[in-house]
Amino acid sequence: MTTRVRFAPSPTGYLHIGSARTALFNYLYARHTGGKFLLRVEDTDRQRSTEESLQSILEGLKWLGFAPDEEIVFQSNNADKHRAAALKLLEEGKAYRDFTPKAEPTDKNIKDSIAEKARQNQGEKSMRDNEYRDLSKAESDERAAKGEPFAIRLKVAESGKTSFEDAVYGLNERDYSETEDLVLLRSDGHPLYNLAVVCDDIEMEITDVIRGQDHLTNTHKQILIYEALGEKPPRFAHLPLILAPGGKKLSKRIHGEIVSMTTYRDAGFLPEAFRNFLALLGWSAGEEQEIYKLDELIEKFSLDRIHKSNATFNFDPTSAKHWTDDKAIWMNAEYIRAEPLEKLLPSVKAELKSAKLWRDEYEDDDKAWFEKTVDLIRERFFTLKDFSTQGRAYFSEDFDFDEKAVQKNLKKFPDLQKWLPELAEKFEPMESFTHDEIEAVVKDFTEEKGAKLGVIMNGARTLLTGLAVGPSMLAIFETLGKEKSVMRLKSQIGWNL
């Protein structure tokens, strides 16, 4: 049987890092086993689901390159089937009607009030003491017929336990006494999560459920539903969580955009780099390699090498340099300089386009120049954004001067204000403007002035690119060409800062 896995986000927010990693692992597992990767949108919470979230999630998945192998399933479309399943269990006596009026949730923190209630019930109430649990069928039917509202609860057996072998966490067991008679269908007819998930997974013929560890206890409830329905549960693999620094839960409410996938796309990350980073959060191949191309990830991925302990996604919102996980940034830089140039070019093009620095000649008459330039400057870039910011001077005359660079490399050596335009004049008559010739001219000039080579070079770098850092100066001259080099050396813009 071919494996079928699903990624099942609920559209109540954008695709965040933890979900993206879950999607990745599902995807890798599907590809590794030659199975199918499916997408199911769990949009049954009408209050919180939004179209905007859905689009954000779809965009994030698209960016990461995880296209579902079959049509997207929307859980809300299956509500009738979920209801039918609940009714069937009711009919078979495996579930019962609970006529207890629905308790309105307290207005304060829901989680806290639930824990509070659990504390109070401690030792006093059994999970089975619902007064309607053993109501006769006749009476139950009669009250229902009269229009009295009811929820449908699963009738969990008095004694026994649920157990399953998790691919990551091993054998999990839970005594029935720990599980309440869970509600399958709300009194307004709305099917609840655990029922919906089980029904959909059955219908979609899911063989392996790979999801966050926060569902570990839900799994027991779901197994109870599978059993009641007379279906065989799929295999389960629960993933460790991705936490915020300090070991707290990563939440969009307190951590903001840092957790959203689109943030990384917009910040100039390469999807392959981010995928690589994500893959190593909670999984490792057990070797000292760090860089894995997708094919390699697919080949090496296995559920049994997923960790049990949660990982911390490290970032520092107060730092411009460490705004997100250092390793993610490093990995992105690694991909930017190591990817085959032709694979990187489209991304650079997109970046330059969005910064209005793109010219169609770069794919035509100036193709060779463009490729050479990208290859030259990518060496020290971290994100695609750097091409339009730090690399701006290579594509436009309208670039900024870094004040510190001007101080350090220009104003500290006032002679340069006269010398650099003079150097430009030496360049002007040159027929061939390439590395060796430029070098000879610059060296002669330096000797003539009795100056230090570094002073001339650094001054030129700042005047030509606005920066104190960058590639070899001779390469910059050659890349920019004679005309621009001469023009910028003579320009006073940098000096007038």
The interface with RNA within residues 63-92 (CB under 7 A) comprises 75
The reply to whether 143 sits near RNA by the rule CB under 7 A is no
Cβ nearer to RNA, comparing 339 with 366: 339
Binding-site member from 298, 311, 441, 497 for RNA (CB under 7 A)? 311
Binding-site member from 1, 103, 145, 320 for RNA (CB under 7 A)? 103
Binders of RNA among 382-441, rule CB under 7 A?
Answer: none
Distance CA 88, CA 99 (A): 18
Distance CA 197, CA 61 (A): 21
Identify whether 404 is a catalytic site residue: no
Distance CA 240, CA 281 (A): 9
- Total residues contacting RNA by CB under 7 A comes to 92
Inter-residue contact 12 to 45 (CB < 8 Å) = yes
Q: How far is the CB of 496 from RNA (least distance, A)?
A: 22
Binders of RNA among 260-279, rule CB under 7 A?
Answer: none
Using alpha carbons, list the distances in angstroms from residue 150 to 96, 140, 144, 153, 190.
9, 10, 7, 9, 11
Distance CA 21, CA 476 (A): 41
Binding-site member from 59, 128, 235, 245 for RNA (CB under 7 A)? 245
Binders of RNA among 105-134, rule CB under 7 A?
Answer: 105, 110-111, 114-115, 117-119, 122
DSSP class of residue 66 equals: -
Binding-site member from 207, 218, 396, 417 for RNA (CB under 7 A)? 218
To which residue do tokens 């050659």 refer? 478
The reply to whether 449 sits near RNA by the rule CB under 7 A is no
Residues in CB range of 386: below 8 A, 6 or more apart: 268
Phi, then psi, of 155 in degrees rounded to 5: -95, 95
Query: Given the rule CB under 7 A, which of 22-30, 31-39, 177-185, 420-428 is the region that contacts RNA?
Result: 177-185
Binders of RNA among 366-385, rule CB under 7 A?
Answer: 379-380
Query: Given the rule CB under 7 A, which of 27-35, 211-219, 257-265, 352-360 is the region that contacts RNA?
Result: 211-219
Q: How far is the CB of 356 from RNA (least distance, A)?
A: 26
The reply to whether 161 sits near RNA by the rule CB under 7 A is no
Distance CA 414, CA 368 (A): 37
The reply to whether 309 sits near RNA by the rule CB under 7 A is yes
Binding-site member from 258, 470, 480, 488 for RNA (CB under 7 A)? 470
The reply to whether 330 sits near RNA by the rule CB under 7 A is yes
DSSP output for 351-414: HHHHTT---GGGGTTTHHHHHHHHHHHGGG-SSTHHHHTTTHHHH-S--PPPHHHHIIIIIT-T
Binding-site member from 34, 93, 147, 170 for RNA (CB under 7 A)? 170
The amino acid occupying position 383 is T
Burial class (CB in 10 A: 0-12, 13-18, 19+), 329: buried
Binding-site member from 293, 305, 353, 443 for RNA (CB under 7 A)? 305
Q: Which of 88, 137, 248, 252 is catalytic?
A: 252
Q: How far is the CB of 355 from RNA (least distance, A)?
A: 21
Cβ nearer to RNA, comparing 319 with 432: 319
Binding-site member from 58, 216, 350, 451 for RNA (CB under 7 A)? 216
The reply to whether 172 sits near RNA by the rule CB under 7 A is yes
Distance CA 151, CA 191 (A): 10
Query: Given the rule CB under 7 A, which of 52-60, 343-351, 355-363, 473-481 is the region that contacts RNA?
Result: 473-481
Phi, then psi, of 254 in degrees rounded to 5: -95, -25
Cβ nearer to RNA, comparing 35 with 402: 402
Query: Given the rule CB under 7 A, which of 24-32, 225-233, 365-373, 470-478 is the region that contacts RNA?
Result: 470-478
Distance CA 37, CA 67 (A): 8
Binding-site member from 2, 48, 62, 84 for RNA (CB under 7 A)? 48
Binding-site member from 32, 59, 100, 497 for RNA (CB under 7 A)? 100
Inter-residue contact 222 to 198 (CB < 8 Å) = yes
Residues in CB range of 69: below 8 A, 6 or more apart: 30, 36, 37, 38
- How many Å from the N-terminal Cα to the C-terminal Cα in the chain? 70
The amino acid occupying position 347 is S
Cα dihedral 242→246→247→249 (10° resolution): -70
Positions annotated as catalytic residues are 252
